[in-house]
Amino acid sequence: MAWNEPGGKGNPNDPWGNNNRGNNNRGGGGQPPDLDEALKQLLDKLNGLFGGKGSGGGNNNNSNGNGGIGGMLVIAGAILVVMLGFNSVYTLDETERGVVLRLGKYSSTENPGLRFKIPLVDHVIPVNTTGVREVEVKERMLTEDENIVEIELSVQYRVSDPVAYALRVESPERTLVAAAESALRHAVGSTEMDQILTIGRNLLADQVQIRLQDYLDRYQTGMVLNTVNIKDARPPTQVAASFDDVQKAKQDKDRFISESEAYANSVVPEARGRAQRQLEEASAYKEQVIARAEGQAARFNDLLAEYRKAPKVMRERLYIDAISDVYTQSSKVLVDVDGGNNMMYLPLDQLMKAMPASQAASGSGQLTSSDISRLTDQVLEEVRSRQSSTTTTTRREGR
């Protein structure tokens, strides 16, 4: 008969003890096994495997209870040993450093790789020391000229000291944000709004980075800043339209100032040049007048000396020169004919027009010696013709 066949008596292979239950129960072997008794038998087998004693066939209840508790403790101990074995080994990436705390006190800093720690005694804090991290700060602050500006600040940093980063400060990123707000508020409060919105952003970012790094070093956070950038700076949205109008007016003002300066830069040098030229011309005219006066005075002195030597000759010479100067400015000549009653008029301007066009075109407006000779011949011919006509008229009257 099989060990699990119902109703079997005295079967030693039945682990559920159906042989005993079959004797005690009225219904024979159709009842299910007793779970408590089955658990006791399983514990007896485990105790036998680990060197414990059995329950002695179930006669001694005290020995059965002690054996079950001991087996459970052995199983729990085995599980604990396995868990501690797994927890005693850990791995650090290439970007990490491990800060080891032994019983809550700093012990050492581990490099990347497979490492061992004492379970329940050592605690390892992995810290990324090569990656660049970033935090952003967005605040509304008051400028030096008492204007409100909204600024977005981006801070990139990395961890240089993992021990200080993990142990010196409770929350490094919150500390960084608070320090960044403080440094930004100090820099914005000492800068005018126009500079923050236009050309002063880079200078403002540099000031914030220097002050923020000083704060982090004094707090011993173990962080080093890479870059600090002003992502955006703008007035509050409630006054954005009015602020844009003000900015446009300032731009128009700057444009007008630039145009006026350009016009001044083009006009002032030209005016200075004209003024300098007039000064030079006045100086030249002054020198010319002085030189002419000095020449005339020297000429008068020379004429005076010659006049004293021959007064009559000098008077006639001076008279001829004066008449020549006067006649050179006139285009008409009056000739007094000896023995005649009429004065002859010679239209020199008409005589000049009667000259050949080629000769007039070749000259520069001045008479040459040939022109003067030709003009003299025409004057003499005109005089002779008029003298002959006058003589003829006189003879007729005498008759």
122-134 pLDDT, tens per residue?
Answer: 888 899 998 999 9
Query: What is the Cα–Cα distance from 212 to 225, expressed in whole angstroms?
Result: 8
In the predicted structure, residue 19 carries a pLDDT above the cut 50: no
Give the pLDDT confidence score for residue 120 in this predicted structure: 80
- Is the model's pLDDT at 4 over the cut of 50? no
* 21: confidence class by pLDDT, cuts 50, 70, 90: very low
Please state which of the four CATH numbers 3.50.50.60, 3.90.800.10, 3.30.479.30, 3.40.50.300 is assigned to the domain occupying 131-235. Answer: 3.30.479.30
pLDDT above 80 (res 394)? no
Q: Which pLDDT value is given to residue 75?
A: 75
Task: Give the pLDDT of residue 354.
Answer: 57
How confident is the model at residue 114, as a pLDDT?
85
- Report the pLDDT value the prediction gives residue 39, as an integer from 0 to 100: 66
Cα(333)–Cα(325) distance, integer angstroms: 13
Measured CA to CA in angstroms, residue 329 lies from 318, 333, 353 at distances of: 17, 11, 17
Residue 320 banded pLDDT, cuts 50, 70, 90:
confident
**Residue pLDDT, tens place only, 229-242:** 999 888 887 777 77
Task: Give the number of residues written for the chain.
Answer: 399
- Check whether 361 has a pLDDT greater than 50: no
pTM listed for this prediction: 0.48
Phi-psi region of 120 (alpha: psi -120 to 50; beta: other; left: phi over 0): left
- pLDDT at position 28, please? 44
- Would the pLDDT of 20 be above 60? no
The whole-chain average pLDDT of the chain stands at 77
Q: For 67-76, 101-110, 323-332, which range has the lowest pLDDT when averaged over its residues?
A: 67-76
pLDDT for 78-94, tens place per residue?
A: 777 777 767 778 888 88
Position 356 pLDDT exceeds 90? no
**Where does the pLDDT of residue 95 fall: very low under 50, low under 70, confident under 90, or very high at 90 and above?**
confident
- Helices marked H in 106-239: 162-163, 172-189, 193-197, 201-219
Identify the band that residue 66 occupies on the pLDDT scale cut at 50, 70 and 90: low
The radius of gyration of the chain from alpha carbons, rounded to an integer in Å, stands at 66
Residue type, 204: L
Confidence (pLDDT) at 223: 94
User: Is pLDDT at 100 greater than 50 in this prediction?
Assistant: yes
Q: Which residues of 277-286 are buried (b: 16+ CB within 10 A; e: fewer)?
A: eeeeeeeeee
Specify whether the CB–CB gap between 90 and 115 falls below 8 A. yes
- In angstroms, the CA 171 to CA 175 distance is 6
pLDDT for the residue numbered 244: 77
Which of 49-58, 108-117, 217-226, 383-392 shows the lowest per-residue confidence on average (mean pLDDT)? 49-58
pLDDT category of residue 345 using cuts at 50, 70 and 90: low
